[in-house]
């Protein structure tokens, strides 16, 4: 059998095989060097082989790997304290291993909250087209993407999907049956679409009017990616959620997720209502603490904003230079993409040949989510490679929507 034949065919990786990473670069066995502008899809927030993270893992690995949540885990208390200090609305945290599990916990918390408040019929979750919340049963039903639901049996009732940005549909649909509205402040998989701050505030007001909870999925846009520790912090306190899911970048490559909720809401999740064997294990939460301490520094976040402004300006320049290839620059901070007029997956493959690792997203978007430690030199290097790619892409057939 060929290599990979023993794996599910859910992924189709390219021939390049990376064996080592250093900062913003990945290396193959032959030491070919690639500029990493996707960071394992917004995960390796501090790049590869970061000395502080390696040290944290080494120290913890020498002490204790795992206990299960049957026992006290000091680094969980510390990390939960850090998140709640950073988010004034937040009161309690449940740690998970992944984004999907953090969303599962958020959905369970919202429904249980209404149930315990004497309103068990209030279970409907509203989401929007282009949403992505993970690949478990609850989260594919929450996301509502027909491609991800197909062939997996009956859809789970209790999820309603509305057109992204359709305010009227939302006003008409939200009701006393609505448990929560679930949104990504910046849509990732759906094509890097940020929700304007004014809309987040409107959403908050609308939820309040109907006694619905507001849940943010910051799995991709959190962890400093937009220049705030969490993306919704760009809006002022009028857009704070009731529950939030985080993962990806908060673990920097170590599997870690978190469901963070207001105290009075989280309180309903008492012993026996939820659990996880690994969630928040000592290794994961030790890494989470080190990452939080680095990314939450104001100077670090300022440098993300500075670099992302430069990146955006350079990308807008590329758009002017290649109007036949690039339709629009999208995203926020270092979660940035280009909606293309040529097939994004082909341009992505072209970039990989030229040793730039990028991603793609829905709506024919070339997606980039580089490590947050990139500087202007890396941006220039990426722009140089992309320029060559777009020169070739001009010859490609147009992408039909």
Binding site for ligand PLP (CB under 6 A): 98-100, 103, 132-134, 184, 188-189, 217, 219-220, 247-248
Closest approach, Cβ 186 to ligand PLP, in A, equals: 9
Specify the residue, 295 or 350, whose C-beta has the smaller distance to ligand PLP.
295
Specify the residue, 47 or 188, whose C-beta has the smaller distance to ligand PLP.
188
Whether 217 and 327 have beta carbons less than 8 Å apart is answered as: no
Q: Give dist(CA 98, CA 280) in Å, integer.
A: 10
Closest approach, Cβ 132 to ligand PLP, in A, equals: 5
Specify the residue, 253 or 350, whose C-beta has the smaller distance to ligand PLP.
253
In DSSP terms, 332 is beta-bridged to 335
* C-alpha pair distances (Å), 136 with each of 94, 104, 149, 267, 392: 18, 8, 10, 25, 39
Specify the residue, 124 or 184, whose C-beta has the smaller distance to ligand PLP.
184
Cite the beta strand spans of 155-278 per DSSP E: 159-162, 178-183, 186-187, 193-194, 213-217, 243-246, 257-261
Q: CA 99, 102, 105 angle in degrees (round to 5)?
A: 155
In DSSP terms, 330 is beta-bridged to 337
Closest approach, Cβ 185 to ligand PLP, in A, equals: 10
Closest approach, Cβ 133 to ligand PLP, in A, equals: 5
Residue nearest to ligand PLP as judged by C-beta position: 99
Whether 185 and 244 have beta carbons less than 8 Å apart is answered as: no
For residue 350 the two structure tokens come to 């072209």
Specify the residue, 97 or 122, whose C-beta has the smaller distance to ligand PLP.
97
Closest approach, Cβ 362 to ligand PLP, in A, equals: 11
Closest approach, Cβ 42 to ligand PLP, in A, equals: 7
Specify the residue, 213 or 350, whose C-beta has the smaller distance to ligand PLP.
213
Q: Give dist(CA 363, CA 295) in Å, integer.
A: 30
């Amino acid at each position: 059998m060929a290599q990979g034949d023993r794996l599910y065919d859910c992924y189709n990786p390219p021939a390049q095989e990376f064996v080592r990473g250093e900062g913003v670069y990945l290396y193959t066995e032959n030491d070919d060097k690639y500029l990493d502008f996707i960071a394992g899809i917004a995960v390796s927030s501090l790049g590869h082989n970061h000395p502080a993270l390696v040290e944290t893992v080494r120290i913890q690995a020498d002490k204790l790997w795992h206990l299960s949540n049957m026992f006290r885990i000091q680094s969980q208390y510390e990390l939960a304290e850090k998140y709640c200090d950073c988010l004034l609305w937040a009161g309690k945290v449940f740690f998970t291993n992944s984004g999907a599990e953090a969303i599962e916990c958020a959905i369970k918390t919202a429904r249980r909250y209404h149930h315990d408040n004497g309103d068990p019929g209030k279970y409907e979750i509203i989401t929007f087209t282009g949403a992505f919340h993970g690949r478990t049963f609850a989260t594919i039903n929450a996301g509502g993407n027909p491609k991800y639901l197909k062939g997996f049996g009956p859809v789970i009732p209790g999820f309603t999907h509305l057109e992204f940005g359709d305010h009227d549909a939302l006003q008409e649909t939200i009701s006393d049956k609505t448990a929560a509205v679930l949104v990504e402040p910046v849509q990732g998989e759906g094509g890097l679409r940020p929700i304007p701050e004014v809309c987040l505030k409107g959403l908050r007001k609308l939820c309040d009017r109907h006694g619905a909870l507001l849940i943010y999925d910051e799995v991709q846009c959190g962890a400093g990616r937009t220049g705030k520790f969490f993306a919704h912090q760009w809006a002022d306190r009028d857009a704070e959620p009731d529950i939030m899911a985080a993962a990806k970048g908060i673990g920097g490559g170590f599997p870690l997720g978190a469901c963070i909720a207001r105290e009075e809401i989280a309180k309903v999740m008492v012993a026996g209502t939820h659990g996880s064997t690994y969630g928040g294990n000592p290794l994961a939460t030790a890494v989470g603490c080190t990452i939080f301490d680095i990314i939450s520094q104001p100077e670090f976040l300022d440098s993300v904003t500075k670099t992302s402004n430069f990146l955006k300006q350079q990308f807008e320049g590329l758009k002017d230079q290649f109007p036949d290839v690039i339709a629009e620059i999208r995203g926020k901070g270092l979660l940035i993409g280009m909606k293309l007029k040529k097939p994004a997956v082909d341009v992505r493959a072209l970039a990989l040949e030229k040793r730039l690792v990028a991603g793609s997203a829905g709506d024919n978007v070339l997606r980039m989510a580089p490590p947050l430690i990139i500087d202007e030199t890396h941006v220039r290097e990426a722009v140089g490679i992309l320029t060559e790619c777009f020169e070739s892409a001009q010859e490609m057939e147009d992408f039909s929507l």
